[in-house]
Structure 1
Amino acid sequence: MPNELPTGLALAEAAERLRRDGPNELGATQRRGLAGIVGEVVREPMFLLLLGAGGIYAVMGDMREAVVLLGFVVIIMAVTVLQERRTDRALDALRDLSSPRALALRGGKAVRIPGREVVKGDVLLLAEGDRIPADGVLLQVHELAADESLLTGESEPVPKRAAGERVFAGTLVVSGQGGMRVEATGSHTELGRIGASLQDIGLQASPLREEVARLTRRLLAVGLALCALLVALFWLLRGDALQALLAGITLAMGVLPQEFPVIMIVFLALAARRLAAQQVLTRRLNAIETLGQTTVLAVDKTGTLTLNRMAMAALSVNGQAFDVRGMRDAALPEIFHELLEYAVLASEIEPHDPMEQAFHRLAAAQLAGTEHLHPSWALAREYELAPELLAMSHLWRERGRSDDTVAAKGAPEAIAELCHLDAAALEAVRAEAAELADQGLRVLAVAKARHPAHRDWPAVQHDFDFTWLGLVALADPLRPEVPQAVATCHRAGIRVLMITGDHPRTAQAIAGQAGLDASRVITGEELEALSGKDLVRVAGEASVFARMRPRQKLALVEALKARGDVVAMTGDGVNDAPALKAAHIGIAMGQRGTDVAREAASLVLLHDDFASIVTAIHRGRRTFVNLRRALTYTVAVHVPIVGLALLPVMLGLPVVLAPMHIAFLELVIDPACSLVFEAEQGGDDLMGQPPRRRAESLLPLGSVLQSLLQGLLATALVMGLYAWLQTSAKLAQLAPAAAFTALVAANAALILPSRTGGRRWARLFTGLSGVSRLVVAATIAALFVATGVPAVALLFGFAALPPALWLGCVAAGFSMAVPFELARRWLGPERHGVLALAQRG
Structure 2
Amino acid sequence: MKRNHKHVLTRPKKSSGLLRNAGLSSTQASDRLQREGQNLLPGSIPVSAFKLVFEVITEPMFLMLLAAGGLYLALGDRGEAIFLLAVVFVIIGMTLFQHGRTQRQLEALRELSAPRALVIRDGVEKRIAGLEVVRDDLLVLREGDRIAADALLLEGSLEVDESLLTGESVAVSKLPQSSDSAPDAQLYASTVVTKGAGLAKVIATAQETAVGKISTDLAATTEVPSVLQRRARRLIRWLGGLALLLALMQIALNIWWNQAPLLPSILSGIAFAMAILPEEIPVVLTVFLALGAWRLAQKKVLTRRVTAVEALGGITVLAVDKTGTLTMNRMTVAAIDGDAGKVSTCALLASPRDTVDPMERALQVYCAQKQDQESSILDHLNKTGQDAIHEYALSADLLAMTRVYQTTQAREYFLAAKGAPEAIIDLCQVSSSAREAVHTRVAEMAAQGLRVLGVAQARWTAPDGQTSASHVSWPESQRDFVYEFIGLVGFEDPPRPEVPEALAQCQRAGVRVMMMTGDHLATAVAIARKIGLSEMPVTLTGPELDQLSDEELKLRLKEVNLCARLKPTQKLRLVKLLQASGEVVGMTGDGVNDAPALRAADVGVAMGERGTDVARESAALVLLDDSFASIVAAIAQGRRIDDNIRKATGFIFSVHVPIIALALVPPVLHWPMLLMPAHIVLLELVIDPACTLVFESEPEERDVMDRPPRAASDSPFSFAAVFPPLVQGLGVAVLLVGTYAWLDAIGWTQELVRTIVMSALLLSVLLIILANRDHARSLFAGLLVPNRWLRRLSLGVLMVLVAVYAIPWLREVLKITPLDIMDLGVILVVIGACALWLELTRLYFFAQHATVSTRFALDHDRGKLG
* TM-score, normalised by the number of residues in structure 2: 0.83
CA deviation map 1:751-793 (0-9, x unaligned): 1110112266764443142221221221222122123443422
Matches within 5 A, 1:143-158: 143-158=157-172
The alignment status of 1:699 with 2:717, answered yes or no, reads: yes
Structure 2 distance, partners of 1:598, 1:515, is: 28
Contact 1:443 1:503 in 2 (8 A): no
Contact 2:392 2:478 in 1 (8 A): no
Contact 2:388 2:404 in 1 (8 A): no
CA deviation map 1:574-614 (0-9, x unaligned): 11112222222211000000011111111110011011000
Decide which of 294, 300, 308 is 1:273's aligned counterpart.
294
| Partner of residue 202, structure 2 | 182
| Partner of residue 386, structure 1 | none
- Mean CA deviation greater in 353-362 or 273-282: 353-362
| Partner of residue 484, structure 1 | 501
Structure 2 distance, partners of 1:839, 1:14, is: 62
CA deviation map 1:688-723 (0-9, x unaligned): 111111122323434322222211222122222223
Structure 2 distance, partners of 1:264, 1:109, is: 45
| Partner of residue 192, structure 1 | 212
Residue 281 of structure 1 aligns to a residue whose secondary structure is strand
Residue 705 of structure 2 aligns to a residue whose secondary structure is helix
Decide which of 11, 30, 54 is 1:2's aligned counterpart.
11
For the structure 1 residues 510 and 721, does the alpha-carbon distance in structure 2 shift closer, same or farther, using more than 3 Å as the test? same
CA deviation map 1:381-405 (0-9, x unaligned): 999xxxxx9999999999xxxxxxx
| Partner of residue 452, structure 1 | none
The alignment status of 1:553 with 2:571, answered yes or no, reads: yes
Contact 1:146 1:157 in 2 (8 A): yes
The alignment status of 1:642 with 2:660, answered yes or no, reads: yes
Q: CA deviation at 1:433?
A: 3.1
Decide which of 744, 754, 760 is 1:736's aligned counterpart.
754
Q: Which amino acid aligns with 1:68?
A: F
Structure 2 distance, partners of 1:586, 1:409, is: 39
Contact 2:26 2:122 in 1 (8 A): yes
Q: CA deviation at 1:553?
A: 2.2
Decide which of 436, 442, 445 is 1:436's aligned counterpart.
445
Q: CA deviation at 1:13?
A: 4.0
Structure 2 distance, partners of 1:833, 1:211, is: 26
CA deviation map 1:793-819 (0-9, x unaligned): 223232233465346425633652231
For the structure 1 residues 258 and 150, does the alpha-carbon distance in structure 2 shift closer, same or farther, using more than 3 Å as the test? same
Structure 2 distance, partners of 1:751, 1:593, is: 43
Contact 1:580 1:601 in 2 (8 A): yes
Structure 1 distance, partners of 2:440, 2:667, is: 89
The alignment status of 1:232 with 2:252, answered yes or no, reads: yes
Q: Which amino acid aligns with 1:190?
A: A
Decide which of 59, 79, 86 is 1:44's aligned counterpart.
59
Structure 2 distance, partners of 1:212, 1:416, is: 68
Q: CA deviation at 1:56?
A: 1.3
Structure 1 distance, partners of 2:423, 2:623, is: 32
| Partner of residue 412, structure 2 | none
CA deviation map 1:182-218 (0-9, x unaligned): 2221101111112368889965343322332333233
Q: CA deviation at 1:139?
A: 3.4
The alignment status of 1:313 with 2:334, answered yes or no, reads: yes
The alignment status of 1:299 with 2:320, answered yes or no, reads: yes
Structure 2 distance, partners of 1:464, 1:59, is: 103
Residue 29 of structure 2 aligns to a residue whose secondary structure is helix
For the structure 1 residues 288 and 428, does the alpha-carbon distance in structure 2 shift closer, same or farther, using more than 3 Å as the test? farther
Q: CA deviation at 1:134?
A: 0.8
* Structure 2 residues not aligned, in runs of 5+: 1-9, 179-184, 370-374, 406-414, 458-476, 860-864
| Partner of residue 830, structure 1 | 849
Q: CA deviation at 1:107?
A: 2.9
Q: CA deviation at 1:38?
A: 1.9
Contact 1:540 1:563 in 2 (8 A): no
| Partner of residue 326, structure 1 | none
Q: Which amino acid aligns with 1:273?
A: W
CA deviation map 1:645-685 (0-9, x unaligned): 11111122221111121111111111111111111123111
For the structure 1 residues 133 and 363, does the alpha-carbon distance in structure 2 shift closer, same or farther, using more than 3 Å as the test? farther
Structure 2 distance, partners of 1:621, 1:179, is: 44
The alignment status of 1:138 with 2:153, answered yes or no, reads: yes
Based on CA coordinates, which of the two structures has the bigger radius of gyration?
2
Matches within 5 A, 1:401-800: 431-443=440-452, 472-517=489-534, 519-729=537-747, 731-758=749-776, 763-800=781-818
Residue 162 of structure 1 aligns to a residue whose secondary structure is coil
Residue 313 of structure 1 aligns to a residue whose secondary structure is strand
**How many percent of aligned residue pairs carry the same amino acid?**
42
Contact 2:350 2:401 in 1 (8 A): no
| Partner of residue 455, structure 1 | none
Q: CA deviation at 1:741?
A: 0.7
For the structure 1 residues 811 and 107, does the alpha-carbon distance in structure 2 shift closer, same or farther, using more than 3 Å as the test? farther
For the structure 1 residues 569 and 767, does the alpha-carbon distance in structure 2 shift closer, same or farther, using more than 3 Å as the test? same
Contact 1:50 1:659 in 2 (8 A): yes
Q: CA deviation at 1:69?
A: 0.9
Structure 2 distance, partners of 1:54, 1:795, is: 12
CA deviation map 1:418-468 (0-9, x unaligned): 99x9999997665333322344433456899xxxxxxxxxxxxxx999999
Structure 1 distance, partners of 2:440, 2:816, is: 90
Residue 182 of structure 1 aligns to a residue whose secondary structure is strand
Structure 2 distance, partners of 1:249, 1:394, is: 85
For the structure 1 residues 239 and 473, does the alpha-carbon distance in structure 2 shift closer, same or farther, using more than 3 Å as the test? same
| Partner of residue 173, structure 2 | 159
Q: Which amino acid aligns with 1:233?
A: L
- Mean CA deviation greater in 627-636 or 794-803: 794-803
| Partner of residue 69, structure 1 | 84
Superposed CA RMSD: 3.8
Decide which of 228, 234, 241 is 2:262's aligned counterpart.
241
Structure 2 distance, partners of 1:752, 1:391, is: 72
Q: Which amino acid aligns with 2:648?
A: A
For the structure 1 residues 741 and 15, does the alpha-carbon distance in structure 2 shift closer, same or farther, using more than 3 Å as the test? farther
Q: CA deviation at 1:834?
A: 5.3
Q: CA deviation at 1:178?
A: 1.7
Residue 541 of structure 1 aligns to a residue whose secondary structure is coil
Structure 2 distance, partners of 1:170, 1:407, is: 45
Contact 1:410 1:446 in 2 (8 A): yes
Q: CA deviation at 1:100?
A: 0.9
Contact 2:609 2:626 in 1 (8 A): yes
For the structure 1 residues 814 and 76, does the alpha-carbon distance in structure 2 shift closer, same or farther, using more than 3 Å as the test? farther
For the structure 1 residues 225 and 649, does the alpha-carbon distance in structure 2 shift closer, same or farther, using more than 3 Å as the test? same
For the structure 1 residues 706 and 396, does the alpha-carbon distance in structure 2 shift closer, same or farther, using more than 3 Å as the test? same
For the structure 1 residues 550 and 363, does the alpha-carbon distance in structure 2 shift closer, same or farther, using more than 3 Å as the test? farther
CA deviation map 1:457-511 (0-9, x unaligned): xxxxxx9999998854223322221111111100111111223333333322221
Q: CA deviation at 1:301?
A: 1.8
For the structure 1 residues 409 and 283, does the alpha-carbon distance in structure 2 shift closer, same or farther, using more than 3 Å as the test? farther
Structure 2 distance, partners of 1:416, 1:546, is: 28
Residue 591 of structure 1 aligns to a residue whose secondary structure is coil
For the structure 1 residues 272 and 665, does the alpha-carbon distance in structure 2 shift closer, same or farther, using more than 3 Å as the test? same
Structure 2 distance, partners of 1:576, 1:391, is: 31
Residue 598 of structure 2 aligns to a residue whose secondary structure is helix
Structure 1 distance, partners of 2:435, 2:856, is: 52
* Structure 1 residues not aligned, in runs of 5+: 324-331, 384-388, 399-405, 449-462
Contact 1:26 1:198 in 2 (8 A): no
Residue 154 of structure 1 aligns to a residue whose secondary structure is coil
Q: CA deviation at 1:179?
A: 2.1
Q: Which amino acid aligns with 2:97?
A: L
Contact 2:332 2:362 in 1 (8 A): yes
- Mean CA deviation greater in 521-530 or 651-660: 521-530
